[in-house]
C-alpha cells in the first residue's frame, strides 16, 4: 500500500472529511506516514498580519485552525507530521508533492461557488492536473 501520503488541508469541513478518508487508507499499511500540508495563502498574508498582534498569535491561529484535523489524526493512530508552507495553495501543494515524490495526494474539494471556481480555478482541480502521482479528492 501507500507509504508516503500527502494530505493537503485548510481546516475546512471538506478537509476534515478528507482526513477521515485518509486514515481509512493509511491505517491499512503499518509503515504509512502522512505529510499534512497546510498552505498559508500569499494573498491573505496582508490581512492576517494586520489582524494579528504579533507573529506568535498568528502562528497559534494557524495551528488552531488545524486542531480538528490533528485530533482526528491522533485518534486514527497514524504517524504524521504537520507542515505549514507559504505560497499560493495550488502550486505550493503541487511543488511539494512532486519534489518530495509522495505516493498519493489526498485533498478535499474546496467549497467555492461556481463563479469563484470559474475565476480562480479550484485548488483540487489544479492539483489533479499537475501532480505526478494518484490524487484522491474527497467530497
Partner 1 sequence: MIDLILENTVLTIYVIVPEKEVGDQLIERLRKEWFFNVKGDVLAGIVVALALIPEAIAFSIIAGVDPMVGLYASFCIAVIIAFVGGRPGMISAATGAMALVMVPLVKEHGLNYLLAATILTGVIQALFGVLKIAKLMKFIPRAVMIGFVNSLAILIFMAQVPHFWGISTMTYIFVAITLLIVYVIPLFFKAIPAPLIAIVVLTSVVIYSGLDLSTVGDLGNITQTLPSFLIPDVPFNMETLQIIFPFSIALAIVGLLESLLTATIVDDMTGTESNKNREARGQGIANIINGFFGGMAGCAMIGQSVINVKSGGRGRLSTLVAGSFLMFLLLVLGDLVVQIPMPVLVGIMIMVSIGTFDWSSFTYIMRAPKADAAVMLVTVIIVVATHDLSKGVIAGVILSAIFFVSKISNIEVHQRLENNRTLFEVEGQLFFASVEGFVDAFDFSVSDKDIVIDFSSSHIWDDSAVGAIDKVVLKYRENNNLVKIKGLNSSSKKIVDKLAVYNDVNATISAH
Query: Where do contacts with partner 1 occur on this chain (CB under 8 A)?
Result: 40, 42, 45-55, 58, 85-86, 88, 119
Order of all β-strands in the sheet with 4-8: 79-87, 33-41, 4-8, 104-108, 135-138
Output the smallest distance, CB 76 to partner 1, in A. Answer: 26
* C-alpha dihedral sign at 71, 40, 36, 54: negative
Residue 120: enclosing H or E segment and its boundaries? Answer: helix 114-120
Nearer to partner 1, 58 or 128 (CB): 58
- Residue number with CB closer to partner 1 (119 or 139): 119
Give the C-alpha distances (Å, rounded to integers) separating 26 from 20, 77, 81: 10, 10, 14
Strand partners, 5: 34, 104
Q: Identify which of residues 77 and 114 has a Cβ nearer to partner 1 in the complex.
A: 114
Q: Tell me the C-alpha distance between 123 and 26, whole Å.
A: 23
Q: Output the smallest distance, CB 132 to partner 1, in A.
A: 21
Least separation, in Å, of the C-beta of 113 and partner 1? 16
CB of 45 to partner 1, least distance (A): 5
Comparison of 34 and 137: residue with beta carbon closer to partner 1? 34
Instruction: Quote the least distance from Cβ 87 to partner 1, whole Å.
Output: 8
Identify which of residues 45 and 60 has a Cβ nearer to partner 1 in the complex.
45
CA atoms within 13 A on the CB side of 48: 15
Amino acid at each position: 500500500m501507500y507509504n508516503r501520503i500527502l494530505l493537503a488541508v485548510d481546516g475546512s469541513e471538506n478537509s476534515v472529511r478528507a482526513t477521515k478518508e485518509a486514515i481509512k487508507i493509511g491505517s491499512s499499511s503499518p509503515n504509512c506516514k502522512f505529510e499534512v500540508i497546510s498552505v498559508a495563502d500569499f494573498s491573505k498574508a496582508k490581512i492576517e498580519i494586520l489582524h494579528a498582534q504579533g507573529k506568535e498569535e498568528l502562528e497559534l491561529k494557524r495551528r488552531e485552525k488545524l486542531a480538528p484535523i490533528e485530533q482526528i489524526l491522533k485518534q486514527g493512530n497514524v504517524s504524521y507530521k504537520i507542515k505549514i508552507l507559504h505560497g499560493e495553495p495550488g502550486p505550493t501543494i503541487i511543488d511539494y508533492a512532486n519534489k518530495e515524490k509522495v505516493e498519493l495526494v489526498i485533498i478535499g474539494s474546496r467549497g467555492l461557488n461556481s463563479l469563484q471556481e470559474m475565476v480562480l480555478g479550484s485548488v483540487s482541480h489544479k492539483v489533479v492536473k499537475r501532480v505526478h502521482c494518484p490524487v484522491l479528492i474527497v467530497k
